[in-house]
């Protein structure tokens, strides 16, 4: 009996030892798999802004990084895609607010979106903003956390940019859009053993945000198309209108209400203090607004320094000239014009660009309509964005 018990005990001990060994092997394999998974670099896709449809045919934009916060491992990369935005990674430890105020808040600062050209009385898009810094024109770069890295203008200069993250684990940094500095993304570099979200999880979150933004934009667009007025202290009734409309993370590209119905002699007040991102303007007639928004063709410097020549259609400089290619603004885009009264379909009236981050003038624009309009009304548009932002004033 005792020998039988010893045999059973021996068998039990053997089984227990086998389980321990097997468990240890499984644990080792699990740890090895975790290390292998952590060591495998991943590429995360981030949208810089997102075009939305605020109801059928109504243009809007989600003015944010999607996602706006992300955790990565050292060696991972982030691919940024967008239209008319930049992905600009600030050095580790740099807070975006103070940096923007010192470098990208006012005309003349290094990374302000607009700049003076060497040609007199000419304003251009700042080459330091629209062209890459630390990245290739093909859209690849490495971010080490020590210096600024700029994608350049996504969708125009480069279709997308992939940044390999080589900053130290435990560090974090901000990515901003130099065209719209309110758009900001926080990146935290975590240790290889720390769990981070998968691209599928990020995509699901972004999809929910886009769906919510689309619904908000559609509802706001509908609300703004109802006409309102107010009475001034002097007793004058003024019609309220809006040249575009922004919220914290939304930009609506429209004139509100789309159609204004007024009486002869009434005044319309277009508001601009609700504009956060890009300036807009009110220009009559609409075809002139479209001409202003198109602007001069992109230009290249002649090699002998005697002036500028237009760039090629493929955004390259022709023989005998050199870049960087300059994108000039039509002078009328910034200048107010007219006498404040619209008297015909050909009368030129222009508020000049107002509102947004780049233009200090957020004052309202007043225009009086002393004569009746044609049946379709007086059509006007934005001198910055052209006919994509247009409206009508019907005067009876």
Residues 87, 150: Cα–Cα separation, whole Å? 6
pLDDT surpassing 60 at residue 27 = no
Provide the CA 119 distance to its chain's centre, in angstroms.
29
May I ask the CATH class of domain 43-217?
A: mainly beta
Residues 396, 376: Cα–Cα separation, whole Å? 11
Residues 28, 18: Cα–Cα separation, whole Å? 15
CA distances to 86, 128, 286 from 113, rounded to whole Å, are 11, 8, 26
* pLDDT score for 1: 33
Residues 150, 175: Cα–Cα separation, whole Å? 9
pLDDT surpassing 60 at residue 111 = yes
Counting Cβ atoms within 10 Å, is residue 209 exposed (0-12), middle (13-18) or buried (19+)? middle
pLDDT surpassing 80 at residue 209 = yes
Percent of the chain at pLDDT above 70? 90
* pLDDT score for 39: 57
Residues 43, 45: Cα–Cα separation, whole Å? 7
As given in the structure block, the two tokens for residue 223 are 């609300």
Give the model confidence (pLDDT) of 314-334 as tens digits.
888 999 999 889 999 999 999
| pLDDT tier, 93 (very low <50, low <70, confident <90, very high otherwise) | very high
C-alpha closest to that of 151 among 177, 182, 187:
177
| pTM for this model (two decimals) | 0.86
Question: Quick check: do 43-217 and 225-295+330-395 share a fold?
Answer: yes
* SS3 category, 147: coil
| Least confident piece of the model among 8-12, 26-30, 206-210, 275-279 | 8-12
| Least confident piece of the model among 20-29, 89-98, 193-202, 256-265 | 20-29
* pLDDT score for 121: 83
Topology, domain 225-295+330-395 = Immunoglobulin-like (2.60.40)
Domain coordinates of the chain in residue numbers?
43-217, 225-295+330-395
| pLDDT tier, 156 (very low <50, low <70, confident <90, very high otherwise) | confident
């Amino acid at each position: 009996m005792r020998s039988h018990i010893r045999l059973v005990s021996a068998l039990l001990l053997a089984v227990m030892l086998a389980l321990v060994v097997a468990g240890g092997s499984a644990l080792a394999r699990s740890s090895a798999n975790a290390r292998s998974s952590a060591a495998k670099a991943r590429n995360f896709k981030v949208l810089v802004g997102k075009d939305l449809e605020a109801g059928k045919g109504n243009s809007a934009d989600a003015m944010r990084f999607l996602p706006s916060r992300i955790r990565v491992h050292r060696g991972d990369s982030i691919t940024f895609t967008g239209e008319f935005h930049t992905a600009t990674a600030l050095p580790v430890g740099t807070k975006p607010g103070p940096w923007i105020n010192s470098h990208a808040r006012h005309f003349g600062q290094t990374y302000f979106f607009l700049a003076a050209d060497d040609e007199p009385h000419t304003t251009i898009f700042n080459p330091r903003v629209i062209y890459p810094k630390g990245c290739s024109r093909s859209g690849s770069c490495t971010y080490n956390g020590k210096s600024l890295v700029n994608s350049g203008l996504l969708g125009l200069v480069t279709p997308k940019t992939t940044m390999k993250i080589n900053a130290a684990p435990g560090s974090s940094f901000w990515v901003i859009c130099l065209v719209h500095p309110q758009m900001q993304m926080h990146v935290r570099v975590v240790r290889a053993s720390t769990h981070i979200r998968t691209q599928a999880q990020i995509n699901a979150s972004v999809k929910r945000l886009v769906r919510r933004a689309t619904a908000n934009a559609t509802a706001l667009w509908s609300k703004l198309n109802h006409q309102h007025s107010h009475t001034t202290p002097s007793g004058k009734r003024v019609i309220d209108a809006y040249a575009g409309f922004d919220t914290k993370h939304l930009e609506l590209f429209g004139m509100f209400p789309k159609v204004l119905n007024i009486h002869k002699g009434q005044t319309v007040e277009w508001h601009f203090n609700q504009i956060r991102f890009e300036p807009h303007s009110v220009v009559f007639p609409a075809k002139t607004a479209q001409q202003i928004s198109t602007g001069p063709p992109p230009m290249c410097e002649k090699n002998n320094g005697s002036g500028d020549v237009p760039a090629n259609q493929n955004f390259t400089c022709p023989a005998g000239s050199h870049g960087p290619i300059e994108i000039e603004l039509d002078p009328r885009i910034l200048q107010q014009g007219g006498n404040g009264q619209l008297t015909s379909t050909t009368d030129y009236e222009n508020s000049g660009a107002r509102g947004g981050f780049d233009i200090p003038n957020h004052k309202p624009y007043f225009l009086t309509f002393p004569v009746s309009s044609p049946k379709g009304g007086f059509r006007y548009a934005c001198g910055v964005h052209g006919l994509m932002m247009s409206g009508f004033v019907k005067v009876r």
